[in-house]
């Protein structure tokens, strides 16, 4: 488990899971919280969960016993000549955080910009629902964010957490902060807020208001 992100993270499967944190700060009892449709997909999902059971990963900063939303990347491919799948972890997918949180990153791809441009979750848009999400990740030596999980999500049923996990996968910071300190292995914590707004009538255009 190195400290560098995979060469092409887009080639890895993205698993949106809920996991329980054990007393060592590692994942346990991970499961999909959205339906898995189709025999092949269910077989693939079972293989992925079995691999994660055998290879628990750090959920840095989470309290033991907490149940949290995570986004996990795995390399999954069909095994030749058999109805099964082979699973491996991309290099640098799972690292533990150490050192003080990053407070002054130099962004290459700023997640705040993606948050402001992101599609509003459908239910939140329909209801004009405000939301707030706090996420925790670990920075790699190359400035990618891995091991992201949702520390706080209010409300918890409007897909704000999923939106944040998605945009954090594309975030990139420089290997050094504005003060010249390395970011490698350090935690990054960010709160995202959405100020919901309900149009005065149903025909009015939806006008989202984002807070950085």
* Residue with token string 């992101």: 118
Question: What pLDDT, in 10s, does the model give residues 66-124?
Answer: 999 999 999 999 887 778 899 999 988 899 999 999 999 999 999 988 777 666 677 77
Q: Furthest-apart CA pair in the chain: how many Å?
A: 60
Q: What is the DSSP string of 34-91?
A: S---SHHHHHHHHHHHHHHHHS--B-TTPPTT-EEEEEEEEEEEEPTTSS-EEEEPPT
Question: What pLDDT, in 10s, does the model give residues 128-176?
Answer: 788 899 999 999 999 999 999 999 999 988 888 998 998 998 899 999 9
Question: What pLDDT, in 10s, does the model give residues 179-202?
Answer: 999 999 999 999 988 877 654 444
Residue 104 vs residues 2, 89, 109, 126, 188: alpha-carbon distances, Å? 24, 30, 14, 35, 10
pLDDT on residue 33: 86
SS3 string of 95-116? CCCCCCCCCCCCEEECHHHHHH
Q: What percent of the chain has pLDDT over 70?
A: 83
Tokens (6 digits) for 93: 């997918």
Residue 173: helix, strand or coil by DSSP? strand
Distance (Å, rounded) from C-alpha 73 to C-alpha 114?
Answer: 20
Closest CA to 89 of 172, 151, 36, 27: 27
Note the pTM of the prediction, 2 decimals: 0.84
pLDDT on residue 195: 78
Query: 155 phi and psi, to 5 degrees?
Result: -75, 165
Domains recognised in the chain with CATH numbers: 9-211 (3.30.2420.10)
The mean per-residue pLDDT over the stretch 10-16 comes to 78
pLDDT on residue 197: 60
* Residue with token string 């691999």: 51
In which element (H, E) is residue 162 found?
Answer: helix 160-168
Average per-residue pLDDT for the chain: 85
């Amino acid at each position: 488990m190195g400290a560098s992100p995979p060469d092409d993270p887009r080639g890895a499967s993205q698993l949106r899971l809920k996991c329980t944190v054990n007393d060592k700060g590692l994942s346990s009892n991970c499961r999909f919280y959205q339906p898995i449709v189709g025999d092949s997909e269910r077989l693939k999902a079972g293989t992925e969960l079995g691999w994660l059971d055998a290879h628990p990963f750090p959920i840095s900063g989470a309290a033991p016993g907490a149940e949290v939303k995570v986004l996990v990347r795995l390399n999954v491919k069909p095994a030749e000549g058999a109805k099964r799948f082979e699973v491996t972890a991309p290099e640098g997918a799972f690292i533990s955080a150490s050192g003080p949180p990053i407070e002054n990153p130099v962004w290459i791809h700023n997640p705040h910009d993606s948050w402001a441009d992101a599609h509003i979750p459908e239910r939140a848009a329909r209801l004009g629902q405000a939301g707030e999400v706090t996420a925790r990740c670990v920075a790699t030596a190359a400035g990618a964010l891995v091991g992201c999980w949702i520390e706080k999500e209010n409300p918890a049923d409007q897909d704000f957490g999923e939106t944040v996990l998605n945009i954090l996968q594309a975030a990139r910071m420089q290997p050094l902060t504005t003060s010249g300190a390395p970011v490698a292995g350090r935690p990054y914590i960010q709160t995202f807020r959405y100020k919901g707004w309900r149009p005065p009538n149903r025909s009015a255009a939806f006008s989202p208001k984002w807070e950085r």
